[in-house]
Amino acid sequence: MVHFEPSETLKRLPRQYFTYLAEKKSRLANEEWDMIDLGIGNPDLPTPQFIVEELKEAADDSLNDQYGPDRGYDYLREAVVNYYWREYGVELDPQTEVAILHGSKAGIVEISQCLLNAGDTVLLPNPCYPDYFSGIALADAVIEPLPLLAENDFLPQYDLLSKEVLAQAKLMFLNYPNNPTSAVATPEFFRDTVEFAQKNHICVAHDFAYGTIGFDGEKPLSFLQTPGAKEVGVEFFTLSKSHNMAGWRMGFAVGNASVIGTINLLQDHTECGFYGGIQRAAAKALNGDQSSVRELTAIYERRRDLFLAEMAGTGLEMCKPKGSFYIWMKVPAGFTSESFWDYLAHEAHVFVAPGDGFGELGEGYVRIGLSQPDERLVEAARRISKLAPFQIESETVVKVSAE
């Protein structure tokens, strides 16, 4: 068989972290263990029934058997506009300030290709959602890290950036509620961000994937709620987390018209519309009763509290999440992120996500997902607790870590 070399563009792509995690998990599949998977961010609860019923009805409409408009139906863009006005008090133009996406990941990868040329600088939080790296690599851009440190509540400090970096920077990614740290943004931080972006002519790309999941009575802030934010940035939203529609692949970007225009232009060339039935269901989700969204957030908050209560006696350091459905946990002394992953997988049969996959500053942490039923989360916490104090003793752990 003839071997064809991939392009230099593909060679620039980093290791796909979630594919890597899936491969690690598959290597354990042959073991006769009851593995509890807390490593992925895949919602475990069903899509609300009223959304499913809308899809079923839409499937009988022959209009949806045809190609739809490449940029989505007007009714869906109007639903996005109505949702942002109702939930956040943000006004949007459905024609120029909304881009419909095959899940928010599509737009997050595309925006780097839309705005960056080879050698341009992008400001990137460290640690961060790994798929930001992919779009940046495709654009052949240069990353300048924004350290997210516990002592600063996992918010970047703009005054640490040099004038030389700021002169080159064109784009900055942010993500609150944050994956993986579960931190949330404050109004003051977003105001500082708008001022910083205006002063330095930098586009802000805010990933709002966990925008509906805030705890302790606090609703997460949309970046676009901040005065001036729409002039300097866009926000990515997905129905995957808010409405348990991960497999439906429906998201959108909203905000600055010039940036939205570039995303729509790129998708004109790379996409061919979205199935109308899913668009109708998405519009129903956005326009309909949001009680299921609030109920889902309450479930994640209960799971957070159950897990933390069971882990209280372990001595492990972890921040109490204020949003998202993750717990960012420090590994015990003597372990790396990878070796602690091996230890938990083989000794507790609990699968987590090693923090180093989210960036260099993720080293020394693991990410724990709350997308498992209450009883499974409690069982996972009990298994981990039984291992305290934590010591590397298993030859299997050392062997796997070295591979």
Task: Please write the tens of the pLDDT for every residue from 294-323.
Answer: 999 999 999 999 999 999 989 899 989 999
Distance between CA 13 and CA 289 in Å, rounded?
41
Are 377 and 350 a contacting pair, CB within 8 Å? no
Are 213 and 176 a contacting pair, CB within 8 Å? no
pLDDT of residue 396: 37
- The 3-state DSSP class for residue 114 equals helix
pLDDT of residue 399: 34
The pair phi, psi for residue 39, each rounded to 5°, is -95, -15
Q: Which residues contact 71 (CB under 8 A, 6 or more apart)?
A: 77, 99, 100, 264, 267, 268
Distance between CA 230 and CA 190 in Å, rounded?
12
Are 22 and 351 a contacting pair, CB within 8 Å? no
E-only strand ranges, 42-168: 98-101, 121-126, 142-147
pLDDT of residue 398: 36
Q: Which residues contact 402 (CB under 8 A, 6 or more apart)?
A: none
Number of Cβ atoms within 10 Å of the Cβ of 376: 17
pLDDT of residue 400: 34
Distance between CA 332 and CA 364 in Å, rounded?
8
pLDDT of residue 112: 96
pLDDT of residue 30: 67
Are 134 and 16 a contacting pair, CB within 8 Å? yes
Q: Which residues contact 403 (CB under 8 A, 6 or more apart)?
A: none
pLDDT of residue 193: 98
**What's the token pair of residue 108?**
């997050």
Q: Give the predicted TM-score (pTM) of the model.
A: 0.93
Distance between CA 259 and CA 30 in Å, rounded?
47
Distance between CA 11 and CA 24 in Å, rounded?
22
- List of the chain residues with pLDDT < 70: 29-31, 392-403
Are 395 and 66 a contacting pair, CB within 8 Å? no
Distance between CA 70 and CA 106 in Å, rounded?
15
- The 3-state DSSP class for residue 142 equals strand
Task: Report the sign of the C-alpha dihedral through residues 261, 266, 269, 275, in that order.
Answer: negative
Which amino acid, 290? Q
Distance between CA 307 and CA 295 in Å, rounded?
19
Distance between CA 357 and CA 327 in Å, rounded?
15
pLDDT of residue 397: 40
- The neighbouring-strand residues paired with 101 are 251
Are 206 and 174 a contacting pair, CB within 8 Å? yes
pLDDT of residue 152: 96
